Amino acid sequence: MLGRLNHVAIAVPDLAAASAQYRTILGAEVNEPQVLPEHGVTVVFINLPNTKIELLEPLDEASPITAFLAMNPSGGMHHLCYEVEDILAARDRLKAEGARVLGDGEPKIGAHNKPVLFLHPKDFNGTLIELEQV
């Protein structure tokens, strides 16, 4: 069911500073910030040869990233995103196995303009999982 690792997401308190670190210190290719109001975040993607890093900054106090940063003030690894061929088939299979899909269970459009779902971290060893349809 799972395809390749699409990205590792890192919540950050200061998107501009984190982007600059990756660009200047690590010499990475850093994309322009993208505001995603429906997810409550601004994102920046760092392009690597084998995957991407997604830096997440909350848009406001209602963002789920705000609560994460309250517990982890300097930021930290937020989720892993895996690609799937058919997100609805993946969702149905996971639910049949007892996994919890967050939100209303319906895919939303993510940062790559593709359908995404999130799976409860308690069902996956404490790790929030994002699935993205390719």
User: Which listed residue (54, 83, 130, 132) is catalytic?
Assistant: 130
Helix, strand or coil, per DSSP, at residue 43: strand
Q: What's the CA gap between 68 and 89, in Å, rounded? A: 30
Q: What's the CA gap between 14 and 132, in Å, rounded? A: 26
* H or E, element range at 65: helix 64-71
Residue 97 annotated in active site: no
Residues near 41 by beta carbon (within 8 Å), at least 6 away in sequence? 56, 57, 58, 59, 63, 65
Q: Which amino acid is located at 34 in the chain?
A: Q
Annotated catalytic residues are 130
